[in-house]
């Protein structure tokens, strides 16, 4: 744990929307370990990767509000009195967003507006952290991409995350709210939804490897990706919450290393599986929304917040395997 976080969360009231999901549940348990009072707000949307097993053993220490962010009165009730509010709720599937754009709009934009309005009107002193995604940049023009890179997203999910980020910053500036955004790359680790390709590709790779199945890589898998272990992502989010210099800012929590999709598949199989990695032709639906190589800069968050990733991909895969070896049955739906 970064020493700057220390006791900042002890005795604080924390709301985590989407807290039954991958990142949200890891964040909830980390805050809980520091003495925070945790409320999780989640509707367990099957398209968003939430899982009650993600808080297994911690249920009695967490208030669980089973509700949708489009329920504005419920959002108000949960926002009131909170010190920190983390929006980890999202419908994250790129392909599903193209099939069901209105659902994605509600989940990733409408819900954020409800949170921002509730904070503005009922708890303007709270710290609000919105999670963004690096896919909102689209095909990169310049590398490594910084927070000022142009944004031309290729799918509805990424476009809506971009819009939600802009709303978060507008509310921060116009209404003097304590808002900031942390954009995340491909996060992996324990408690991820590993059962479906609709979620992050590298977590799906883990699921295939753990089942002894082959990993299929589209094309040659040469496109580069930035992968970050979930504990490092959680630390970046928490550091943004406790630093006043983050207000009104956007940060990219990027690892220093970049790996090709093929290399990620091969490493995953070597650490976790018994199958093989094979390259297949691109499905048209996937090819149309692929952004190519993604090379990111994490300089701003390191300079401003003192954050740096600690877990490299091989270590993260081993940690993940140790977790799923114990709890795999809860994650193969």
DSSP string covering 115-134: HHHHHHHH-TTSEEEEEEEG
* Per-residue three-class SS string for 190-227: CCCCCCCCCCCHHHHHHHHHHCCCCEEEECCCCCEECE
**What pLDDT does 1 receive?**
53
For 30, phi then psi, to 5°, come to: -65, -45
Q: Cβ distance 20 to 54 under 8 Å?
A: yes
Q: With a cut of 70, which residues of the chain have pLDDT below it?
A: 1, 3
Q: Which fold has domain 13-191+228-254+295-311?
A: Rossmann fold (3.40.50)
**What pLDDT does 287 receive?**
83
Using a cut of 0.85, tell me whether the model's pTM lies above it.
yes
CA angle 41, 170, 306 (to 5 degrees): 75
**What pLDDT does 101 receive?**
96
Place of tokens 């970050």: 228
Select from 64, 74, 2, 62 the least CA-distant residue to 36.
62
């Amino acid at each position: 744990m970064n020493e700057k976080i220390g006791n900042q969360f002890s005795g604080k009231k924390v709301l985590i929307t989407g807290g039954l999901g991958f990142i949200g549940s890891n964040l909830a348990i980390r805050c809980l370990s520091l003495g925070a009072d945790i409320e999780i707000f989640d509707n367990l949307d099957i398209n968003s990767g939430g899982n009650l097993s993600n808080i297994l053993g911690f249920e009695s220490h967490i208030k669980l509000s089973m509700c949708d962010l489009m329920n504005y009165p419920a959002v108000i009730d949960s926002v009131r009195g909170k010190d920190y509010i983390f929006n980890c709720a999202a419908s994250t599937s790129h392909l599903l967003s193209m099939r069901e754009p209105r659902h994605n709009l509600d989940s990733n934009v409408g819900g954020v507006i409800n949170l921002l309005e509730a904070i503005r009107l009922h708890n303007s002193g709270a710290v609000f952290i919105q999670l963004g995604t690096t896919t909102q940049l689209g095909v990169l023009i310049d590398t490594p991409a910084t927070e000022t890179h142009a944004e031309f997203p290729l799918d509805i999910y990424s476009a809506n995350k971009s819009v939600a980020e802009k709303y978060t910053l507008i509310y921060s500036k116009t209404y003097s709210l304590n808002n900031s955004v942390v954009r995340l790359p491909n996060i992996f680790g324990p408690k991820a939804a590993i059962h479906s390709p609709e979620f992050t590709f590298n977590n799906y790779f883990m699921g295939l490897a753990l089942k002894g199945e082959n990993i299929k890589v589209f094309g040659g898998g040469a496109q580069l990706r930035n992968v970050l272990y979930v504990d490092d992502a959680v630390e970046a989010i928490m550091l943004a919450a406790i630093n006043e210099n983050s207000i009104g800012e956007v940060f990219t929590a990027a690892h220093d290393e970049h790996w090709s999709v093929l290399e990620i598949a091969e490493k995953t199989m070597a650490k976790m599986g018994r199958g093989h990695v094979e390259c297949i032709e691109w499905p048209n639906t996937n090819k149309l929304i692929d952004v190519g190589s993604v090379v990111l800069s994490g300089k701003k968050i390191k300079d401003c917040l003192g954050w740096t990733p600690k877990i490299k991909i091989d270590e993260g895969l081993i940690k993940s395997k140790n977790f799923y070896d114990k709890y795999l049955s809860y994650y193969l739906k």
